[in-house]
Structure 1
Amino acid sequence: MAGAPTDVSARRILALALPALGVLAANPLYLLLDTAVVGRLGTAELAALAAGTAVQSTVTTQLTFLSYGTTARASRLFGAGKRDAAVAEGVQATWVAVLVGCALAALVWAFAHPVALFLTNDAGAAEAAVRWMRVAAFAIPLTLVIMAGNGWLRAVQNTRLPLVLTLCGLVPGAVALPLLVGRFGLVGSAAANLLGMGITASLFLLVLAREHTGAWGPRWEVIRSQLALGRDLILRSLSFQVSFLAAAAVAGRFGVASLAAHQIMLQLWNFLTLVLDSLAIAAQTLTGAALGRGSAAEARRVGTQATGFSVAFSLVLAGVFLVLGGPIQRIFTADTAVLDALVVPWWLLIAMIGAGGVVFALDGVLLGAGDAAFLRNLTMGAVLLGFLPLTGAALYFGWGLAGIWAGHLASVLLRLGGVVKRFGSMRWATVGEKRA
């Protein structure tokens, strides 16, 4: 039996989005603490940590489909009044997390040395990175289990519990971090990470065991559908990674000041995407539930209202960055050369924030509908047709950082046009039915 019509009030959106933001921000905040603690050991240890966390992040962030894909599929079931089936979708996602996570952990363990040497180009730092990576590898399946847990809990419109479970692991890990690093050196950092992830993953599994009432074995037809959706989301994520790597490579050609300014811009944009993505998670959850009730009209209304809230919020953020641009920049640097390099890109960033209010909200709507193939193609097209040509031109004509961030803005604007057109067509409303 279908549930009640979706509540898309501002209060409901924020009730889902704010805890989701806490979960999204938790790991970056922990990594900042980790960097600060390990940095006291020395430059070689910090370089080793950078190499290890780069591998860990690359391996795990490409598998965010365990969160977003699970939410897309399970939220439809929840909206149709099939809460038990929505939780069962989480069981299958957890199987994927364990199987894929163990395979990835084995690969990291086996190839840790050549990868670390390639990233550090220093034998001593590489050896330290190998030790870190081989301990942290055990956290890979735990991280993926947490992603799957976030996915099905968001689908049943519970974003508060994932935040609580995340903090239950994060806080002990953060407390243990300086103690373990002080006792065991760099390996203590990996052990603290493993401790925190182990606690959180165990709690997610306990919640799943409490909620699930059916069979626990893997259902391969469901897993195949999850992996098909995951393929599209992985390719989409890779497109973002290509653009970020290319931007950093080109920014470095314009000198140290440009590269430093680019790093400031990139970290601010990453933070802003976390904020806007929390609203997208709310839109995804509510859209999937509406479609699960079989009401495309209600799903469209959810998308329209969620986008309105997201746009209003993004305009407030853009206003803050417009009015307080100077003070915000000076938090990160007092170097006049870096500040000069930020002048034009800063205006482009403000434009990206405004456009992002629509892009991220409608991304969430389309993800909630399971329209991942369209988002994959759109993102890849935006990178190929918008970002890469302008960034290449910036390198050729010497446009500097302004050209690189013009490429980022072009990519966002192409995505904006694509998601608006797709949303208006309503073809997204039937895509998830074919995947189910």
Structure 2
Amino acid sequence: MSQPTVTDARAAAAPRRIAALALPALVVLAAEPLYVLVDTAVVGHLGRVPLAALAVGGTVLTLIAWLGTVVAYGTTGRSARRFGAGDRAAAVAEGVQSSWLALGVGVLVAVGMQVGGGALARTLAGGPGEVADAAAQWLRVAALGAPGLLLAAAGNGWLRGVQDTRRPLVFVLGPNLLSAVLCPLLVYPAGLGLVGSAVANVVAQTVSGLLFAGALVAERVPLRPRPRLIGQQLVLSRDLLIRGVAFQASFLSATAVAARFGAAAVGAHQIALQLWFFTALVLDALAIAAQSLIGAALGAGDEAGARALARRIGLLGGACGVAFAVLIAAGAGVVPGLFSTDPQVRDQAMVAWPWFVAMQPLAGVVFALDGVLIGAGDVRYLRNLTIVAALGGFLPAIWLAYGLDLGLGGIWAGLTLFVVIRLVALLLRLRSGGWAVVGAVR
């Protein structure tokens, strides 16, 4: 693959160039949440308790996936800058070290969930009971896929950095399609019930992780761990990790509050939240393209090209968000029923639905500009912004909703406030230009 030049970097703002990276990323990003939606639909027909258990256990698995996002995003930025500077071997080396880091963290997570999964499930479910017991059982099995999940995240990171969109498409889509077929078979004919969905998760994540590891071997680069480079990645990942912790504290708290409003409320929250994660990750396809192209442009020394790309990415994000809002509003009377036959769950889903629709255009811009700043390595600003928006907006709002008994509507109003705060701050940062620092490594 030819290396980008300054001229190429300026051309990166063209819609065709953005689409060439964003569309394959869209399929990759959609594969996992689409499987989760299938999983939710399959488990939802087992009854209210299994669906509520999946909501609790799935929230913890989402936390593990966010760890993968930290690894992937940090790797993409560093790999893209080195690729933009004309050094592909160094870009791939970033992937080798991030894969070692991912494997180590994944093993620790898998072991930790066997020991502490029960206590964590009881905490999120509001105490011992049927939901907590079922969630703990699901979580202990599903956590075995953590090493593969995080290896796949690291692989996505370095391949995006070198602007390879074909292999991630195959390595993610194939295993998730396999797992989507296995899930209903294991849950129903095989008689495994809720645990069957966890086993299907583990199969997809493990196969995907092995495929990405094989891609590194095929590059024929040194595979030994390099503690110094891993240390540099950890420094960059620190701010992304803190940012991710702020996100997850917010979403874990939201699930905990929803659980205190009853099984129907937390089940409806699971449906709406997984749909929100799905739309967020689909919209994040633009952010993935931004990370790769912004990193390459700044690595090649093209500040003007990076600024032009950032503006176009933000506008495209808003347009995509509007399109999602229209689709979600049109499906209000149909979509919740696909995930649960319980009338109370469907009624509760309708409480969150107006907020879900209204935030889509705003979230489209937010996710796109997140990608711009991550690609530029401006993660400290993102860290501080997320902490302020979580501590000053989301968390107070959802616990106020619990204290005032505002129900699911109060929780989703808090999520909307979280998005609005981030939108305003990101637009101010984009206008300032302080994020556009050129060079192979920021």
Does the 8 A contact of 2:59 with 2:255 survive in 1?
A: no
Residues 112 and 262 (structure 1), Cα distance of their counterparts in 2 relative to 1, 3 Å cut: closer
Which whole-Å deviations, capped at 9, do the CAs of 1:312-334 have from their partners, x for residues lacking one? Answer: 22223334445665566676789
Aligned equivalent of 1:156? 162
* In 1, Cα distance between equivalents of 2:345 and 2:141: 41
* In 2, Cα distance between equivalents of 1:132 and 1:340: 24
Give how far 1:391 is off. Answer: 3.9
Give how far 1:426 is off. Answer: 1.7
Residues 158 and 103 (structure 1), Cα distance of their counterparts in 2 relative to 1, 3 Å cut: same
Which whole-Å deviations, capped at 9, do the CAs of 1:391-410 have from their partners, x for residues lacking one? Answer: 45545556555544333222
* In 2, Cα distance between equivalents of 1:318 and 1:40: 27
Paired residues, number: 433
Aligned equivalent of 2:211? 203
Does the 8 A contact of 2:401 with 2:411 survive in 1?
A: yes
* In 2, Cα distance between equivalents of 1:322 and 1:126: 33
Aligned equivalent of 1:379? 386
Matched residue type, 2:376: A
Does residue 1:171 correspond to 2:177, yes or no?
A: yes
* In 1, Cα distance between equivalents of 2:51 and 2:143: 18
Does the 8 A contact of 1:225 with 1:435 survive in 2?
A: no
* In 1, Cα distance between equivalents of 2:271 and 2:199: 30
Which whole-Å deviations, capped at 9, do the CAs of 1:371-392 have from their partners, x for residues lacking one? Answer: 1111111011012222234445
* In 2, Cα distance between equivalents of 1:338 and 1:319: 20
Secondary structure of 2:225's counterpart equals coil
Residues 63 and 395 (structure 1), Cα distance of their counterparts in 2 relative to 1, 3 Å cut: same
* In 2, Cα distance between equivalents of 1:126 and 1:292: 49
Report which stretch shifted further, 334-343 or 138-147: 334-343
Which whole-Å deviations, capped at 9, do the CAs of 1:190-240 have from their partners, x for residues lacking one? Answer: 4443333332222212222222x4322222222112112222222222222
* In 2, Cα distance between equivalents of 1:42 and 1:317: 29
Aligned equivalent of 1:271? 278
* In 1, Cα distance between equivalents of 2:338 and 2:41: 17
Which whole-Å deviations, capped at 9, do the CAs of 1:314-360 have from their partners, x for residues lacking one? Answer: 223334445665566676789699669847x6554444222223211
Given candidates 259, 283, 289, the residue that maps to 1:282 is: 289
* In 2, Cα distance between equivalents of 1:84 and 1:201: 21
Does the 8 A contact of 2:298 with 2:436 survive in 1?
A: yes
* In 1, Cα distance between equivalents of 2:417 and 2:130: 42
* In 2, Cα distance between equivalents of 1:237 and 1:346: 25
Give how far 1:362 is off. Answer: 0.9
Given candidates 370, 374, 377, the residue that maps to 1:367 is: 374
Report which stretch shifted further, 199-208 or 36-45: 36-45
Aligned equivalent of 2:23? 18
Given candidates 137, 146, 149, the residue that maps to 2:152 is: 146
Residues 334 and 7 (structure 1), Cα distance of their counterparts in 2 relative to 1, 3 Å cut: same
Does the 8 A contact of 2:55 with 2:270 survive in 1?
A: no
Does residue 1:92 correspond to 2:132, yes or no?
A: no
Aligned equivalent of 1:64? 69
Secondary structure of 1:412's counterpart equals helix
* In 1, Cα distance between equivalents of 2:408 and 2:203: 41
Matched residue type, 2:160: R
* In 2, Cα distance between equivalents of 1:38 and 1:380: 34
Given candidates 243, 248, 251, the residue that maps to 1:236 is: 243
* In 2, Cα distance between equivalents of 1:192 and 1:411: 33
Give how far 1:293 is off. Answer: 0.5
Given candidates 200, 208, 221, the residue that maps to 2:228 is: 221
Give how far 1:59 is off. Answer: 2.9
* In 1, Cα distance between equivalents of 2:149 and 2:344: 41
Aligned equivalent of 1:194? 202
Report which stretch shifted further, 232-241 or 389-398: 389-398
* In 1, Cα distance between equivalents of 2:180 and 2:138: 17
Does the 8 A contact of 2:288 with 2:371 survive in 1?
A: yes
Residues 371 and 160 (structure 1), Cα distance of their counterparts in 2 relative to 1, 3 Å cut: same
Residues 264 and 189 (structure 1), Cα distance of their counterparts in 2 relative to 1, 3 Å cut: closer
Identical-pair percentage: 47
Does the 8 A contact of 1:257 with 1:341 survive in 2?
A: no
Does the 8 A contact of 1:258 with 1:338 survive in 2?
A: no
Two-structure CA RMSD over aligned residues (Å): 3.7
Secondary structure of 2:304's counterpart equals helix
Secondary structure of 2:435's counterpart equals helix
Secondary structure of 2:245's counterpart equals helix
Which whole-Å deviations, capped at 9, do the CAs of 1:247-282 have from their partners, x for residues lacking one? Answer: 445556677876666555434422321221111111
Residues 29 and 77 (structure 1), Cα distance of their counterparts in 2 relative to 1, 3 Å cut: same
Normalised by the length of structure 2, the TM-score is: 0.83
How do 1:24-103 and structure 2 match up within 5 A? 24-34=29-39, 53-103=58-108
